[in-house]
């Protein structure tokens, strides 16, 4: 009789253990977007800068409704006036997973197009007040036009997940995840096809308190080109570098070329941590 009780208890324990594991497993949620369906693929011939806005911070769920415009300020743990001061003691950085949903496409808005008008403008030189006024009017006109006529491209949903039992501190810059895309070149080496622009404003940087079984959702551009290859995401979180699992894609070979921007690039623009920080850890 006692043996039967032991066996029954063991079976019940295994069953509960499986249920607990299943409840903590992240599955691709269905996303209800605010944007229309995109018909365009972004097919540039030069290295790009990513967008990577934080669209949602939430617990593991089956549906994400982006029509809900409530921003997740409650997860901020920096000096922001809406931050959660009780989570400022969070120091854990490791344990995250990057999950790319390659099973479906999502629409991404090309906000960088706003700045195309000024990409060759000599910002470092002195300008008259009249010229600054004209520039301001032109800039506002471009913003208004793009808001009414957005350029929509195909993209992929990306989730920074926390499958651990403790909250993890995730760095953000201007409410964007510090992440770029890399691709295998013809020789089979991973090379960046995007680079990161760091802000010179200290108020641009903050942290998100990512609770257990929670995720941060962002979007990345789904590139298209004449070179079929494998692509992966590289994500920097303070002194930790994370990589996603590689996935199939295509790009133009010109996206590997950094010559045009070499004069303003440093290693950190490809998300290499500062040397002053602790030893780099690579997490795959």
Closest CA to 218 of 52, 24, 18: 52
As a whole number of angstroms, the distance between CA 255 and CA 46 comes to 4
Count helices and strands in the chain by DSSP H and E runs: 2, 15
Residue-wise pLDDT for 95-118, tens only, equals 999 999 999 999 988 754 444 444
Among candidates 196, 222, 230, which has minimal Cα distance to 48?
A: 196
pLDDT digits (tens), the chain, 284 positions: 555 544 444 444 444 443 333 345 888 999 988 888 888 899 999 999 998 899 989 899 989 888 766 556 677 776 565 566 667 788 889 999 999 999 999 998 875 444 444 444 454 556 677 676 666 776 677 667 666 666 789 999 999 999 999 999 999 998 899 999 999 999 999 999 999 988 888 778 888 999 999 999 999 999 999 999 999 999 999 889 999 999 999 999 999 988 877 766 777 889 987 655 445 455 55
Phi, psi of 238 (to 5 degrees): 65, -110
- What are the tokens at 181? 């895309």
Instruction: Tell me the pLDDT tens digit for each residue of 155-189.
Output: 999 999 999 999 999 999 988 999 999 999 999 99
Please, are residues 198 and 269 in contact by the beta-carbon 8 Å criterion?
A: yes
Model confidence, pTM: 0.76
6: which 2 tokens? 């032991």
């Amino acid at each position: 009789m006692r043996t039967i009780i032991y066996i029954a208890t063991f079976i019940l324990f295994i069953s509960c253990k499986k249920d607990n594991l299943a409840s903590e497993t992240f599955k691709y949620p269905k996303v209800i977007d605010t944007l229309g369906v995109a018909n365009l693929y972004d097919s540039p011939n030069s290295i790009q800068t990513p967008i990577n806005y934080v669209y949602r911070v939430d617990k593991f769920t089956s549906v994400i409704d982006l029509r809900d415009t409530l921003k997740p300020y409650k997860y901020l743990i920096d000096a922001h006036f809406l931050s959660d001061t009780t989570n400022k003691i969070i120091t854990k950085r490791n344990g995250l997973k990057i999950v790319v949903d390659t099973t479906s496409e999502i629409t991404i808005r090309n906000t960088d197009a706003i700045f195309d008008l000024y990409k060759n403008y000599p910002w470092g030189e002195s300008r008259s007040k009249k010229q600054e006024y004209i520039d301001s009017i032109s800039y506002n006109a471009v913003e208004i036009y793009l808001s009414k006529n957005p350029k929509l491209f195909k993209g992929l949903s990306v989730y920074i997940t926390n499958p651990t039992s403790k909250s993890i501190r995730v760095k953000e810059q201007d409410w964007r995840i510090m992440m770029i895309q890399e691709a295998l070149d013809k020789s089979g080496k991973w090379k960046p096809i995007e680079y990161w622009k760091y802000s010179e404003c200290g108020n641009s940087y903050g942290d998100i308190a990512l609770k257990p079984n929670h995720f941060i959702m962002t979007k990345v551009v789904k590139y298209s080109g004449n070179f079929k290859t494998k692509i992966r995401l590289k994500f920097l979180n303070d002194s930790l570098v994370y990589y996603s699992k590689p996935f199939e894609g295509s790009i133009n070979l010109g996206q590997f070329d950094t010559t045009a921007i070499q004069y303003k690039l440093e290693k950190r623009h490809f998300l290499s941590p500062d040397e002053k920080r602790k030893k780099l850890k690579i997490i795959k």
